[in-house]
Structure 1
Amino acid sequence: MLLDRVKPLDAILATAEKKSLKRTLGWFQLMLFGIGCVIGTGIFVLTAAGAQKAGPGLMLAFAIAGFVCIIAALCYAEIAAMIPVAGSAYTYSYATMGEFLAWTVGWALIMEYAIAAAAVSVGWSGYFSGTFLNELLGVTLPPWLAAGPLALGGAPGGLINLPALLIALLVTGLLIVGTSESAKVNAILVAIKVTALTAFVALTLTSPEFDAERFNPFLPAGIFGGWGTGVGAVGAAATIFFAYVGFDAVSTAAEETKDPQKNVPIGLVGSLLFCTVFYILVAAGAVGTIGGQPIMGPNGVPFPAGSEELARQCATYAADQLPLVCSNEALAHVLRQIGWSGIGNLLGIAAFLALPSVILVLIFGQTRIFFVMARDGLLPEKLSTVHPKYKTPHIVTMMTGGAVALGAAFFPVGKLADISNAGTLYAFMMVAIALLVLRRRDPERKRAFRVPMAWIIAPLTIAGCVFLFLNLPIDAMLFLPGWGVLGIIVYFLYSRGSSHLGRGIVEVVDDVAGEETQIPIHPPAD
């Protein structure tokens, strides 16, 4: 049977119960944690790509993406409170729907984290080249070193995005030698990000340059741009969904939350609502001051973000007249255009300083999924080898970092974000399905947090994820099943025969307690 291998939930919970985490977090701490996790990557990096897809309708796109994230977050919270161990959606799927579907989720997460890290690397490159080198040092990087090849959507004459390549390799090196984020440093970076964006909102919304006429037409490409085009407000929502990724870190704190039934939904929904309103205000300030209308093709449809055609059109503008949709550092560019060059440069520096920490977290997350799958026997156990000196999974970290660096060097940020979102949406959908399976199969199991109206919220999450997936560009939609087919081949050629669960051993490794539980079971008949 293909769906026969389900990892016993009791084995997973046996490890989780040894943690004895103290419940100290209230709703306000959860909200702050959520805001810090979410705000950063997407809003700095994808504002221009979203505006090219939706124009001023970018504001509506943020609302659509935020709604899907809120209902998905509730599903995550219930299962994370029940299964608070490493592996995220992969582990949840393993405990509910079996090894094969868990493999597909883990395989998608490997892709999601790596490509997301590449997207952030490209976004960081824009701020590094524009703010740090050009504005502060007066150095202009040659176009062929600042973007990938033209055919892949880079600037005219682009060959390789060298800064993106180097930052990905640098972060990988730091992870190999065991450098990790300090909580205090991370808190400072969060404060810098939020302060910079608050200043942006205040300066743009009160600027004399702000003109409500810039919002007309509000939806130049419509709400739905057409299947497979990735444009329109919904197409932009599918892209800027990337700006909300990170909220699942909040759901994993359910075990450490006082009165989780009340505080978890307040923390999750509150932080996501705050971020959604914040994002809408940032979009309004950007569009209202310098305009955000997309550059249209001859057929009346916006040129695809990151495309060769758009790059050629953007190359015809003078630097001081560059539209929002053409900028590699959109928010800093807006402030410079309205006379706040100094503040714009500070905002660029904030992104320059903060985004490498996001790359670090994403590469770490990918290696953690890879590591857990290798420990389960689904990938070669050699990949989970720990470096004798640095005590880090150096082999899988080097593999991941190399893939991230290559993606960052040759692909534009919009395409990378779309592909990453495809994997994210699949994982979120599977978490919602896992919630329904657990509600039906194990209704009496203790739940620190229960999703209200689960039989409405979970199907809404599934529908929302499918809806956004179908509004991604066709190449991003096709990448996920293509990657999935490759994964299925690997599963049947190697993973199914090497699986620990298939050989009769359950091994649970918890990332907090550092403890291991081995429970022998009878292997299911193939």
Structure 2
Amino acid sequence: MLFDRVKPLDAILATAERKSLHRSLSGLQLMLFGIGCIIGTGIFVLTAAGAQKAGPGLMLAFAIAGAVCIVAALCYAEVAAMIPVAGSAYTYSYASVGEFLAWTVGWALILEYAVAASAVSVGWSGYFTGTILNEFLGIQLPAWLSAGPLALGGAPGGLINLPALLIAMLITGLLMIGTSESAKVNAVLVAIKVTALTAFVALTFTSAEFDVDKFNPFLPAGVFGGIGTGLGAVGAAATIFFAYVGFDAVSTAAEETKNPQRNVPFGLIGSLLFCTVFYILVAAGAIGTIGGQPIMGPNGIPFPAGSEELARQCALPQYAASLVCSDEALAHVLRQIGWSGVGNMLGVAAFLALPSVILVLIFAQTRIFFVMSRDGLLPERLSTVHPKWKTPHIVTFLTGLVVAVGAAFFPVGLLADYANAGTLYAFFMVAVTVMVLRVKDPHRKRPFRMAGVWIVAPLALAGCVFLYVNLPIEAILVLPAWGAIGIAIYFLYSRRRSHLGRGIVEVVDDIGGEETMIPIHPEGRTG
């Protein structure tokens, strides 16, 4: 049977229970932690791409994406608090809907984390070349070294995004030798990000350039641009959904939270609502000062973000200063309204903060690979830990190589859409997992038990599907294409090498952590 291999939840929880983490986080602390995790890449990088898809309707797009995230986050919180071990949605699926669907989730998470890391690398490159090199050092990096051929849609000059390639490989090297983030450094970076964006909102809303007429028309491409077009407010929401990725880190902190039944929803919904309002204000400030209307094609439809046609339009003098043409949108806005110094500081803030996001994404990717390898679904050599560095150096190098290649040759908007496709599938399966476990294991202890599960979980399913079908057609197609490759690997390699299929459950909480091995019958019963 295809769906008969379900990893015993008791085996997974045995490891988690030995951790015995201290419950110390309040609801407010959890909310602040969430704000720090969420604010970052999307708002710094994707504002221009979102405006090209929706114009001033970008503000509505942030609200739509935030609403979908809230219902998905509540599903995530219940399962994360219930199964607080490494592996994220992959492990949750393994314990509920079985090995085959868990494999598809793990395969989608590979798409999510690796491609997202590439997208952040490209976003960092824009701030590095625009602020650090151009504004501070007076160096103009040639176009053929600052954007890949696909980033310019084949326009003359594009060859490789060298800064994006180098930052991805540098972070990979740090992860291989075991360098990790300091909590204090991370807190400073969070403060820098929030302070920079607060200054942006204050300066744009008080600027003499701010004019409400720049919001008209509010929805130049409509609410729905059409399935597969990636246009309109909903199409923009599907892209800037990327700006909310990170809230799952809040969910996984549920087991360290005091009174999780009250504090988890407060932390999750509070952080998501705060970020949604913050994002809307940033978008309003950008559009109200320099305008955010998309550049339209001859048929009255916006040119696709990252396309050859848009690149050529942005090269024209009348569009060069447009919001939709900037690689460092927020810093660009401040320079246009006479705050060049502050704009440069915001660019420096992004330059400093975004590498930590790349590090977290590559780290998360390697841990998914690691857990899947230890389950026997991927070659076990991938889970080899370096004797000196104590890191999974092989899988880290391979992941970093893929991230670097993606960053070198693809545009940020397209990469974000690809990553979102994988994320939406993983969130969809988490909502499925919540409902399956409520039926299969209703009496299991749940530190956070979501109220109204049979309303919230279906809303999460519908929201994920809704955003997915409003991605650009190439991003819609990349998920089944990627999935087909994964399914072929599963049946040709993984299924027959699976530890669970061979009668062994191996649960590893993390690299160098505790390990539980329980013999089971092939049909999945312990004993």
Is TM more than 0.5 here? yes
Does structure 1 retain, via aligned residues, the 8 Å contact 2:151–2:411? Answer: no
Question: 1:180 deviation in Å?
Answer: 0.6
- Amino acid of the residue matched to residue 6 of structure 1? V
Unaligned runs of 5+ in 2: none
SS in 1 for 2:516: strand
SS in 1 for 2:368: helix
Structure 1 ranges of 4+ moved more than 4 A: none
Q: Counterpart of 1:120?
A: 120
Question: 1:153 deviation in Å?
Answer: 3.2
Q: Counterpart of 2:374?
A: 375
Describe the shift of the 1:479–1:121 C-alpha distance in structure 2 as closer, same or farther (beyond 3 A): same
Q: 1 CA distance for matches of 2:210 and 2:176?
A: 47
Q: 1 CA distance for matches of 2:366 and 2:141?
A: 32
Question: 1:477 deviation in Å?
Answer: 0.5
Q: 2 CA distance for matches of 1:15 and 1:467?
A: 37
Q: 1 CA distance for matches of 2:361 and 2:151?
A: 27
Does structure 1 retain, via aligned residues, the 8 Å contact 2:151–2:410? Answer: no
Does structure 2 retain, via aligned residues, the 8 Å contact 1:230–1:472? Answer: yes
Q: 2 CA distance for matches of 1:172 and 1:516?
A: 26
Q: Counterpart of 1:16?
A: 16
Question: 1:203 deviation in Å?
Answer: 0.2
Q: Counterpart of 2:491?
A: 492
Q: Counterpart of 2:35?
A: 35
SS in 2 for 1:96: coil
Does structure 2 retain, via aligned residues, the 8 Å contact 1:150–1:157? Answer: no
Q: 1 CA distance for matches of 2:511 and 2:27?
A: 22
Q: Counterpart of 1:88?
A: 88
Alignment of 1:58-457 (within 5 A): 58-149=58-149, 153=153, 156-317=156-317, 322-457=321-456
Q: Counterpart of 1:2?
A: 2
Does structure 2 retain, via aligned residues, the 8 Å contact 1:153–1:412? Answer: no
Does structure 1 retain, via aligned residues, the 8 Å contact 2:150–2:410? Answer: no
Q: Tell me the TM-score normalised to structure 1 length.
A: 0.98
Coordinate RMSD, CA, aligned: 1.2
Cα displacement string for residues 91-117 of structure 1 (whole angstroms, at most 9, x for unaligned residues):
000000000000000000011100000
Does structure 2 retain, via aligned residues, the 8 Å contact 1:69–1:244? Answer: yes
Q: Counterpart of 1:507?
A: 506
Question: 1:22 deviation in Å?
Answer: 1.0
SS in 2 for 1:17: helix
Describe the shift of the 1:274–1:513 C-alpha distance in structure 2 as closer, same or farther (beyond 3 A): farther
Does structure 2 retain, via aligned residues, the 8 Å contact 1:18–1:513? Answer: no
Q: 2 CA distance for matches of 1:491 and 1:34?
A: 35
Q: 1 CA distance for matches of 2:156 and 2:89?
A: 40
Question: 1:387 deviation in Å?
Answer: 1.0
Q: 1 CA distance for matches of 2:179 and 2:59?
A: 38
Does structure 2 retain, via aligned residues, the 8 Å contact 1:89–1:105? Answer: yes
- Amino acid of the residue matched to residue 121 of structure 1? S
Question: 1:138 deviation in Å?
Answer: 0.4
- Amino acid of the residue matched to residue 337 of structure 2? I
Q: 1 CA distance for matches of 2:381 and 2:276?
A: 43
Cα displacement string for residues 228-268 of structure 1 (whole angstroms, at most 9, x for unaligned residues):
10000000000000000000000111111111000000000
SS in 2 for 1:18: helix
Does structure 1 retain, via aligned residues, the 8 Å contact 2:151–2:158? Answer: no
- Amino acid of the residue matched to residue 85 of structure 1? V
Does structure 2 retain, via aligned residues, the 8 Å contact 1:152–1:410? Answer: no
Q: State the percentage of identical aligned residues.
A: 81
Describe the shift of the 1:513–1:162 C-alpha distance in structure 2 as closer, same or farther (beyond 3 A): closer
- Amino acid of the residue matched to residue 198 of structure 1? T
Q: 1 CA distance for matches of 2:322 and 2:153?
A: 17
Q: 2 CA distance for matches of 1:154 and 1:260?
A: 52
Does structure 2 retain, via aligned residues, the 8 Å contact 1:153–1:411? Answer: no
Q: 2 CA distance for matches of 1:331 and 1:373?
A: 39
SS in 2 for 1:309: helix
Question: 1:426 deviation in Å?
Answer: 0.1
Q: 1 CA distance for matches of 2:124 and 2:471?
A: 23
Describe the shift of the 1:476–1:187 C-alpha distance in structure 2 as closer, same or farther (beyond 3 A): same
Q: 2 CA distance for matches of 1:363 and 1:293?
A: 35
- Amino acid of the residue matched to residue 442 of structure 1? D
Does structure 2 retain, via aligned residues, the 8 Å contact 1:383–1:396? Answer: yes
Q: Counterpart of 2:479?
A: 480
Question: 1:524 deviation in Å?
Answer: 2.5
Does structure 1 retain, via aligned residues, the 8 Å contact 2:152–2:311? Answer: no
Q: 2 CA distance for matches of 1:354 and 1:244?
A: 16
- Amino acid of the residue matched to residue 457 of structure 2? A
Q: 2 CA distance for matches of 1:136 and 1:151?
A: 25
Describe the shift of the 1:345–1:225 C-alpha distance in structure 2 as closer, same or farther (beyond 3 A): same
Q: 2 CA distance for matches of 1:94 and 1:339?
A: 55
Cα displacement string for residues 383-403 of structure 1 (whole angstroms, at most 9, x for unaligned residues):
111112111101101100000
Describe the shift of the 1:513–1:393 C-alpha distance in structure 2 as closer, same or farther (beyond 3 A): closer
Cα displacement string for residues 277-322 of structure 1 (whole angstroms, at most 9, x for unaligned residues):
0000000000000000000011111000000000000001269x51
- Amino acid of the residue matched to residue 183 of structure 1? A
Describe the shift of the 1:523–1:228 C-alpha distance in structure 2 as closer, same or farther (beyond 3 A): same
Q: Tell me the TM-score normalised to structure 2 length.
A: 0.98
Does structure 2 retain, via aligned residues, the 8 Å contact 1:147–1:155? Answer: no
- Amino acid of the residue matched to residue 193 of structure 1? K
- Amino acid of the residue matched to residue 262 of structure 1? R
- Amino acid of the residue matched to residue 158 of structure 1? G
- Amino acid of the residue matched to residue 62 of structure 2? F
- Amino acid of the residue matched to residue 476 of structure 1? A
Number of aligned pairs? Answer: 524
Q: 2 CA distance for matches of 1:507 and 1:475?
A: 38
Does structure 2 retain, via aligned residues, the 8 Å contact 1:154–1:306? Answer: no
- Amino acid of the residue matched to residue 374 of structure 1? S
Name which of structure 1's ranges 383-392 and 243-252 shifts more when overlaid on structure 2: 383-392
SS in 2 for 1:446: coil
Describe the shift of the 1:12–1:150 C-alpha distance in structure 2 as closer, same or farther (beyond 3 A): closer
Does structure 1 retain, via aligned residues, the 8 Å contact 2:38–2:275? Answer: yes
- Amino acid of the residue matched to residue 24 of structure 2? T
Cα displacement string for residues 367-394 of structure 1 (whole angstroms, at most 9, x for unaligned residues):
0000000000000000111112111101
Describe the shift of the 1:358–1:22 C-alpha distance in structure 2 as closer, same or farther (beyond 3 A): same
Does structure 1 retain, via aligned residues, the 8 Å contact 2:54–2:220? Answer: yes
